[in-house]
Structure 1
Amino acid sequence: MNIAGLNERSRVWRLVALHIWHRTLKWMHGGPFFRLQPFSSVPSRLLIAPQDLRTSDETNAADIYGGRFLFSGHLVETQGRSPFEMNAVHEDWQRELHGFGWLRDLRAADSQIARQNARVLVEDWMKYCGRRHPIGWEAPVVTQRILSWLAHSPFILQDGDHEFYRRFVKSLAKQVRYLRQTINETEDGAVRLRASMAVASACISMAGQGRFARQSFRRLDHELTRQILPDGGHVSRNPRALIDTLADLLPLRQAFVAQGLEMPPAMVQSVDRMMPMLRFFRHGDGALAHFNGMGSTPNDLVATILAYDDARGAPPLNAPHSGYQRLSGGNSVVLMDTGPVPALAVSGDAHAGCLSFEFSSANNRLVVNCGVSPRSNPLWRKVSRSTAAHSTLTIEDTSSCRFLSEKPFGRLLGSPILSGPSYVPLEREDDMAGSRITASHDGYAADFNVFHERDLRLSGDGTVLDGIDTIRALGSVAAEHQYALRFHLYPGLRTSLLRGGSAVLMVCRDGEAWEFEAPGSALSLEESIYLSDVYGHRKAEQIVVTGSLLEKPAVGWQFRKTATAKLSRRGTSEFDDFDELPLEE
């Protein structure tokens, strides 16, 4: 009997039952029952507008005024119609439109025309979508819209008449009420946490919310306590969740102080924990490592968030609750995934990248994971989550995790992880010579009867990274099974094979050079793709070491620095040919 298969099927049916139950409750709260319930009194006024920390681009204001809306990579020209009348458009475009995050661009223009345009678009939404819209009333979209309307309310309401003010506040109160009543049925994880922050922000910002404030503050305290781990990581193990949470939590904290309210204890503790963890994931160039759903780094937003960090100490080296390790020596940094898969309910964006690592030297990233595509394409999303898209070992091109397949429940439930590494023992040693991590995982135990063990050591001066990958058999192992050990290289590195193909030379833009070798093993340079570039997919390369589980169950390898930086990173022409054009899909 396949116990693993039975466990996976039971998890699927439990998810289906839970989803149907939540959908039923949400329909009751948001459908006819919601409309039949009496509205509470409309708040008389807005008291405060929480700050929006995200960066704006005033050049977008002219496009919006001209009826050109570029969201999620899709350009729609409205030809004089309201964008909220247009439903036959990509769903991600509609989500960004209905979220009103683009109000910050109109506000940055700081003109009377921009204010009038904002009021007209808000009025259109209340007219066409204020009662019901299949996308406009999704919980994450409602959350984003509440936060956007609150933050930019002074801009929207300036020069507006009293009647518009009243309708605006009434609509805002209705959305907050809907989110408050359906929050238990929203997707668990970062989505629910952000919804709790939106409700709390509304209770602080709107007058007459005392009866709901205590409840919303308790909810926020509960979600922060539950979702922010003791080391500062998020339960989803996604570094991006830290950026998004802090971007909303810091303005909320300021609003508490401005109103003279006592902050929930978890709010203070969570910020103090997350700030060092955000630094933990950063490479020398400021980018965050690509683990479990992290895509391109919004450097401007990260810099703004870190400006609120009063301590500004060195990042921690060990994040045991989040399941990550950091090695640091000289100017080199190694970040490694050493954790089990997240809980089923928060694994919708998690990756099969256990024991993968990223490696950087000063401002040069060398070894990376492929990251997450900014394009809303199910195929690329599936590729990015596979083990082969990470700098670790794969067996027979199989991922170390099993995801919920698209049929029959994928469209209903998404693609959470049904099974994967659950036992990831770890040992760490730090001394004057350097730092060493030894970890293993059982993700391949069920299918191939083996453990994968990885031993990494970074020298104290950061010039040498040694590794040993070992396949440990738990019983009989099929002779024909092959493994592939992958090291995805950051785009822009100039590479070449050395010594008859037994080593690889990597030269960075600034002239810094590294060599890779795996003595006694067959290695090759193959094509790869870097998905997390802000401008689109980029061609890249990967070092691949292959072998048989039985014939060569252990591979030793080394990255060694052979030349220091000789050129400034700006104003050089010798390495201009490194620039890559985005890879067409």
Structure 2
Amino acid sequence: MAREIYADRARLALFASETGWNSLVARAMAHPWFPWRTASVPVPSRLMFAPHDLRTGDPARAGELYAGRFSFAGKLVLTDGSSPFEMEPPSAEWARELYSFGWLRHLQAAASPIARAHARALVGDWITIRGHRLPQASSPEVAARRVMSWLSQSPLILQDADPGFHRRFIRSLTAQVRYIKSVGPNAPDGRPRLTCALALAFASLCMADQARLMKTAQKRLVDEIERQILGDGGHASRNPGMLIELLLDLLPLRQCFSARHVPPPQALMNAIDRMMPMLRFFRHVDGAFALFNGMGPTPADALATVLAYDDARGRPVSNAPYSGYQRMEAGGTVVIADTGAPPPISMSLEAHAGCLSFELSAGRHRIVVNCGLPATGRDEWRSVARQTAAHSTAVVEDTSSCRFVAGGALARLCGTPVLGGPTDIHVDRGERGGADVLRASHDGYAARFGIVHQRSWRLSPDGMRVDGEDLFRVAQGEEFPADQPGRYAIRFHLHPSVEPSRASDGQTVILKLPDGDDWAFTAPGSTVVIEESIFLAGGAGPRRTEQIVISGQARDVPRIEWTFVRLKALRD
């Protein structure tokens, strides 16, 4: 245990020092006197074309913006004729949304002279007040998203613009590209750093006279793609939703290379080809993504847009070893399981302690889920949603299988990354009697409680039955010491559409589904209870739901068998 604490402190000290240094460099470069503003990127003579924005715009939102109603991240600000950039942001999420300028697509969707004039006026306000100096606006990721938004919506902004505004717009855009070029390598690891590389690549292709920038941008893009996109197509953060967000940028970037008649980097093409099958890997039959490692509500319109570019449209792969996930599917029943270690500390700010958790769906309905995260207000729920107890797996001594930075000054500096968690994970997959069988184990509780958790799943060939087993064994030795703590709770969080009712035998729960295709859960020899839970990833926000819980002592009952079965199969 002492060795584990020292290792945590060493990892945290190294990560905090790197994060602090990168933050200091970014703040210094954002200062007006910093020399990056001179000539690191020449001012282009023109914009050659605009990238295609795959994110959907809403004309109704354009009317709200014109009326001075700026609603982002669940917060509403009424400007009453003032510039929104001079208002006090109600939350950091709201500020990031406003300063990223992604809302320009709503004005583009309106396709009216008023919308164009309003977009031009707002961009003009930003340039006049030098909005890029605002605290949230100088974040490397926010600055990169703003550059991509300005480039993709440049026809909206510049149509009917006078030459003076055109020059101001080009100069401001160039200054922001210079800033991204300077701070990109020091941006937080993961998506922020990759977003900076993407913005630089877009700018080098869309702005004229950028031969040198194009070389730099391509090298950075290739380096980040090769480092962050894993061999099976997953992202290094292990967040399934990251695939959708990145493909919404990678696909238009591929089109930009084609428009400039420049061969795209092979790393870009390979990454897209690997990522596309993973979209289907994480989907349940109802189209929703499995809720692992920071995934929230599935953006159905964005997912449909990205899937339209998938030429293969084949059956999803079943094994994603680099990402640490497994998928089992038969007869319309789908099981998706987390069998991976936490991501590297620099990419673990949203990672969850959900090793050996799983989700189960049958037909068009999800049955077993993880709690997930909401679309807005994520900061309020993140500490709860990341705990092992918010996942459909076993919890030992009410403790998570991963250790997180708890809070305080370190959390303000570097967030709440995963300090440690399962490292020794074994996964075996095979077939028995025509059924798909998966077995996995992790040592996330070994150092603290001397316990290794092993879980098995067996999906019948017709998809009518899922048999499972949870096994707790000592990490060293052959039997549990009499005084060893090992209280466990095996949790199965249910989707809000499922109505559970406990049978009189105390070990069976009937699960009523909306379409009448009901299932039963049974755990012979165990006492099964129904407790309250919460489903955070609902489209309309968090919703109350329920969970099935089996409790016990590992030294008394180390093996628990359980089954999900269609009632139709029981009757037959």
Same fold (TM over 0.5): yes
Distance 2:498 2:132 in 1: 53
CA contact (8 A) 1:511 1:563 kept: no
Tell me which residue corresponds to 2:247. 246
Which amino acid in structure 1 is aligned with residue 21 of structure 2? W
Once the 2 structures are TM-superposed, how far is the Cα of residue 92 of structure 1 from its aligned partner?
1.3
Query: CA RMSD of the aligned region, Å?
Result: 1.4
Distance 1:173 1:25 in 2: 20
Per-residue CA deviation, residues 171-196 of structure 1 (Å, 9 max, x unaligned), is: 11111110011011101011111111
Mean CA deviation greater in 155-164 or 27-36: 27-36
Tell me which residue corresponds to 2:545. 540
Tell me which residue corresponds to 1:521. 526
Tell me which residue corresponds to 1:569. none
Tell me which residue corresponds to 2:120. 119
Tell me which residue corresponds to 2:277. 276
Which amino acid in structure 2 is aligned with residue 249 of structure 1? L
1:412-491 equivalent positions in 2, closer than 5 A: 412-430=413-431, 433-475=434-476, 476-477=480-481, 478-479=483-484, 481-491=486-496
Tell me which residue corresponds to 2:238. 237
Which amino acid in structure 2 is aligned with residue 502 of structure 1? Q
Per-residue CA deviation, residues 283-336 of structure 1 (Å, 9 max, x unaligned), is: 000101001111110011111101101111111000001100000111001000
Per-residue CA deviation, residues 63-108 of structure 1 (Å, 9 max, x unaligned), is: 1101011110001101110101113532211111111111111111
Tell me which residue corresponds to 2:5. 5
1:276-355 equivalent positions in 2, closer than 5 A: 276-355=277-356
Mean CA deviation greater in 35-44 or 187-196: 35-44
Tell me which residue corresponds to 1:79. 80
Tell me which residue corresponds to 1:574. none
Distance 1:243 1:431 in 2: 35
Per-residue CA deviation, residues 345-401 of structure 1 (Å, 9 max, x unaligned), is: 100110000000000011110000000123335441101000000000001110000
Tell me which residue corresponds to 2:71. 70
Per-residue CA deviation, residues 475-502 of structure 1 (Å, 9 max, x unaligned), is: 4544553100000000111221113332
1:19-418 equivalent positions in 2, closer than 5 A: 19-32=19-32, 34-35=34-35, 38-39=38-39, 40-130=41-131, 132-376=133-377, 378-418=379-419
Distance 2:425 2:111 in 1: 53
Distance 1:27 1:541 in 2: 46
Per-residue CA deviation, residues 506-547 of structure 1 (Å, 9 max, x unaligned), is: 111111100000000111011100000121110101000011
Tell me which residue corresponds to 1:575. none
What SS class does the counterpart of residue 27 from structure 1 fall into?
A: helix
Once the 2 structures are TM-superposed, how far is the Cα of residue 432 of structure 1 from its aligned partner?
5.9
CA contact (8 A) 1:130 1:171 kept: no
CA contact (8 A) 1:479 1:549 kept: no
Once the 2 structures are TM-superposed, how far is the Cα of residue 563 of structure 1 from its aligned partner?
3.4
Once the 2 structures are TM-superposed, how far is the Cα of residue 23 of structure 1 from its aligned partner?
2.4
Distance 1:187 1:315 in 2: 32
Once the 2 structures are TM-superposed, how far is the Cα of residue 32 of structure 1 from its aligned partner?
4.9
Distance 1:430 1:122 in 2: 60
Distance 2:219 2:510 in 1: 56
Question: Runs of 4+ in structure 1 displaced over 4 angstroms?
Answer: none
Distance 1:296 1:526 in 2: 23
What SS class does the counterpart of residue 408 from structure 1 fall into?
A: helix
What SS class does the counterpart of residue 442 from structure 1 fall into?
A: strand
Distance 1:166 1:321 in 2: 48
CA contact (8 A) 1:129 1:136 kept: no
Distance 1:480 1:350 in 2: 27
Instruction: Flag structure 1 segments of 5+ consecutive residues without an equivalent.
Output: 565-585
Distance 1:292 1:480 in 2: 28
Give the share of equivalent positions with the same residue, in percent: 47
CA contact (8 A) 2:497 2:514 kept: yes
Give TM-score, length-normalised by structure 2: 0.96
CA contact (8 A) 1:344 1:417 kept: yes
Which amino acid in structure 2 is aligned with residue 240 of structure 1? G
Which amino acid in structure 1 is aligned with residue 462 of structure 2? D
Which amino acid in structure 2 is aligned with residue 556 of structure 1? E
User: Taking structure 1 as reference, are residues 18 and 533 closer, same or farther at Cα in structure 2, changes over 3 Å only?
Assistant: same
Which amino acid in structure 2 is aligned with residue 257 of structure 1? S
Which amino acid in structure 2 is aligned with residue 523 of structure 1? V
Tell me which residue corresponds to 2:516. 511
Once the 2 structures are TM-superposed, how far is the Cα of residue 37 of structure 1 from its aligned partner?
5.1
Query: How many residues are aligned here?
Result: 564
1:561 equivalenced with 2:566 (yes/no): yes
Distance 1:153 1:141 in 2: 18
Give TM-score, length-normalised by structure 1: 0.94
Distance 1:479 1:222 in 2: 48
What SS class does the counterpart of residue 536 from structure 1 fall into?
A: coil
Distance 2:58 2:208 in 1: 31
Which amino acid in structure 2 is aligned with residue 481 of structure 1? G
User: Taking structure 1 as reference, are residues 461 and 36 closer, same or farther at Cα in structure 2, changes over 3 Å only?
Assistant: closer
Distance 2:18 2:119 in 1: 39
Which amino acid in structure 1 is aligned with residue 156 of structure 2? F
Distance 2:239 2:293 in 1: 5
Tell me which residue corresponds to 1:16. 16
